[in-house]
């Protein structure tokens, strides 16, 4: 789907801003020493302050601050040396304090940007408004008992980064590309595991539409907690179409929060107006303003890893990869690292083709993650060396790879065991070819008239050498002899 929708009255532009909640990778919670480990028994990771016992006070976890700064630097953002934690007040069963500690007025990270990668090698820069730190809420479980709800406070107080984009995105593809890229950057930085199924990253998607050419923003809706890249695209597409249909039939878009239902593929209204909240934000008096010094920020900046955009440019420049291939290889840090290990000191293009072709294909088919690949980067490198040194042909290499994938053995071992080493000795191949030419004068004549028939000789030589003749050498000799 494009950036626009064709309605009955004309073309509409789809405008999207996203608020992504990314769980900060840290050992303990934002303001308590309780563990953040996922999957513990309910209410196992709960400190006194998480359960809001009387007199308990929050103490800021410095590691979470460092992670937020690191994330900010990763999106080339201004780091605010002065930031303030505010309380957002509302009552809910999974919010023991009766307020969430967040940063409304003075966030830790200011404006930044992120480049999204679109099809056909296009890219676009999307503005980021801010990143602030805040506490996650607990979990309400409504489906285990007909009469009661259960509360799990394990997640209560876990640090989140809320990353707010500007309304720069257009259409579902851009929205999902944004999430993909943001996830990639945070994973490179090691500030969020990006695990969307576990809720480590989820997006509130603000969608509005406006007539093409208009510069005013339409009324937006906010679809909450969308937790997959695919659902983001679907939610945008559904919501934009709903708004266009509403507007074209004379209706009005109501500013409201909505929910995406992936089974029905639709969004629906979450809250009625009567329950509209006044969050009564004010600076949390239990916490002093957060003052960072520039040295702290500089130290984090100096320690920043290479990020996907830089890596992609380097892969293009250093390895001569296409923009597309480089993009595929850098999307995940692990893939880029794997590729570089394979490519180091070897034919990089060949390495790229094998990683993206045979390896990805085999992993996909087997449903195995790259981290658990039975063929290590070094082993794949060995196979590529065998191809580059003409020890085996590309055709044979595919068979060898299949065995490697199955057995975990090295390429050399398989080539040795199965006697697959190809014949590149011109003398041996010439002898075989000469015999075939001598035995088939009629074919020789025909091939001289029609060069396409030379292929028959290639097949015969391969047959005679048990498929081990180097095809390059065979072709060269045939061309010489049959002119």
- Residue found by looking up tokens 């406070």 in the block: 153
Q: Please check whether residue 206 is in contact with residue 236, taking contact to mean a CB–CB distance below 8 angstroms.
A: no
Q: How far apart are CA 283 and CA 102, in angstroms?
A: 9
Rg (alpha carbons) of the chain, rounded to whole number: 30
Please give the residues from 118 up to 137 whose contact with another protein meets the rule CB under 8 A: none
Please give the residues from 150 up to 189 whose contact with another protein meets the rule CB under 8 A: 151
CB of 109 to another protein, least distance (A): 21
Question: Which of 39, 54, 419, 441 is in the footprint of another protein by CB under 8 A?
Answer: 54
Q: Choose the binding region for another protein from 92-100, 226-234, 263-271, 355-363 (rule: CB under 8 A).
A: 92-100
Sheet arrangement for strand 86-89: 99-102, 86-89, 282-283
CB of 106 to another protein, least distance (A): 14
91 part of the interface to another protein, by CB under 8 A: yes
Question: Which of 58, 72, 74, 112 is in the footprint of another protein by CB under 8 A?
Answer: 58
Of 105 and 305, nearer to another protein (C-beta) is: 105
Of 89 and 180, nearer to another protein (C-beta) is: 89
Distances (CA, A) of 426 to 270, 415, 474, 478, 482: 76, 21, 8, 11, 16
99 part of the interface to another protein, by CB under 8 A: yes
250 part of the interface to another protein, by CB under 8 A: no
Question: Which of 1, 60, 403, 428 is in the footprint of another protein by CB under 8 A?
Answer: 60
Q: Choose the binding region for another protein from 52-60, 367-375, 399-407, 414-422 (rule: CB under 8 A).
A: 52-60
Q: How far apart are CA 31 and CA 97, in angstroms?
A: 13
Q: How far apart are CA 119 and CA 420, in angstroms?
A: 41
CB of 300 to another protein, least distance (A): 22
DSSP state string for 166-202? -TTEEHHHHHHHHHHHHHHHHHHHTS----TTTTSEE
Please give the residues from 269 up to 328 whose contact with another protein meets the rule CB under 8 A: 278, 280-282, 284-288
Question: Which of 8, 39, 41, 55 is in the footprint of another protein by CB under 8 A?
Answer: 55
Q: How far apart are CA 73 and CA 255, in angstroms?
A: 33
Of 54 and 419, nearer to another protein (C-beta) is: 54
Length of the chain: 483
Of 68 and 73, nearer to another protein (C-beta) is: 68
Could you say which DSSP state residue 332 is in? Answer: S
Q: Choose the binding region for another protein from 83-91, 125-133, 352-360, 382-390 (rule: CB under 8 A).
A: 83-91
Instruction: Give me the phi and psi of 38, to 5 degrees please.
Output: -80, 145
437 part of the interface to another protein, by CB under 8 A: no
Per DSSP bridges, beta strands 221-226 and 123-135 are: unpaired
113 part of the interface to another protein, by CB under 8 A: no
Q: How far apart are CA 21 and CA 229, in angstroms?
A: 14
Q: How far apart are CA 99 and CA 88, in angstroms?
A: 5
Q: How far apart are CA 141 and CA 94, in angstroms?
A: 10
Q: Choose the binding region for another protein from 3-11, 147-155, 407-415, 443-451 (rule: CB under 8 A).
A: 147-155
CB of 376 to another protein, least distance (A): 46
Residues that bind another protein (CB under 8 A): 48, 51-60, 87, 89, 91-93, 96-99, 147, 149, 151, 278, 280-282, 284-288
């Amino acid at each position: 789907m494009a950036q626009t929708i064709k309605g009955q009255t004309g073309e509409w532009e789809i405008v999207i801003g996203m608020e992504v909640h990314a769980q900060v990778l840290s050992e303990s919670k934002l303001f308590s020493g309780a563990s953040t480990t996922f999957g513990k028994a309910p209410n196992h990771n709960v400190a006194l302050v998480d359960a809001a016992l009387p007199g308990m006070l929050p103490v800021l976890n410095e590691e979470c601050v460092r992670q937020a700064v690191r994330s900010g630097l990763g999106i080339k953002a201004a780091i605010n040396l002065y930031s303030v934690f505010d309380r957002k007040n509302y009552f809910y069963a999974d919010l023991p304090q009766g307020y969430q500690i967040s940063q409304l007025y003075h966030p830790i990270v200011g404006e930044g940007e992120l480049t999204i990668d679109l099809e056909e090698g296009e890219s676009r820069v999307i503005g980021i408004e801010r990143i602030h730190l805040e506490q996650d809420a607990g979990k309400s479980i409504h489906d285990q008992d007909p009469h009661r709800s259960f509360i799990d406070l394990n997640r209560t107080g876990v640090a989140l980064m809320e990353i707010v984009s500007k309304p720069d995105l257009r259409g579902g593809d851009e929205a999902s590309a944004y999430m993909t890229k943001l996830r990639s950057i945070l994973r490179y930085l090691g500030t969020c595991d990006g695990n969307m199924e576990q809720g480590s990253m989820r997006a509130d998607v603000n969608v509005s539409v406006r007539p093409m050419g208009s510069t005013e923003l339409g009324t937006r809706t906010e679809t909450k907690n969308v937790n997959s890249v695919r659902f983001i695209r679907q939610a945008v597409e559904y919501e934009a179409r709903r708004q266009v249909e509403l507007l074209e039939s004379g209706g009005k878009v109501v500013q409201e929060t909505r929910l995406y239902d992936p089974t029905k593929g639709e969004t629906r209204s979450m809250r009625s107006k009567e329950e509209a909240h006044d969050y009564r934000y004010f600076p949390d008096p239990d916490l002093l303003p957060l003052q960072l010094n520039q040295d702290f920020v500089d130290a984090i900046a100096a320690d920043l890893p290479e990020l996907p955009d830089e890596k992609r440019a380097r892969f293009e420049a250093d390895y001569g990869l296409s923009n597309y291939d480089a993009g595929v290889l850098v999307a995940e840090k692990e893939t880029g690292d794997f590729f570089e290990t394979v490519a180091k000191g070897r034919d990089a293009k060949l390495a790229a083709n094998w990683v993206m072709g045979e390896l990805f294909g085999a992993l996909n088919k087997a449903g195995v993650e790259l981290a658990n690949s039975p063929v290590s980067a070094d082993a794949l490198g060995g196979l590529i060396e065998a191809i580059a040194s003409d020890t085996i042909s590309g055709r044979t290499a595919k068979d060898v790879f299949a065995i490697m994938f199955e057995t975990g053995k090295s390429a050399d071992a398989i080539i040795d065991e199965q006697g697959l080493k190809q014949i590149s000795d011109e003398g041996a191949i010439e002898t075989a070819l000469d015999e075939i030419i001598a035995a088939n004068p009629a074919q020789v004549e025909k091939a001289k008239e029609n060069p396409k028939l030379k292929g028959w000789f290639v097949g015969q030589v391969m047959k005679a050498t048990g498929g081990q003749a180097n095809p390059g050498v065979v072709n060269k000799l045939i061309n010489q002899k049959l002119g």
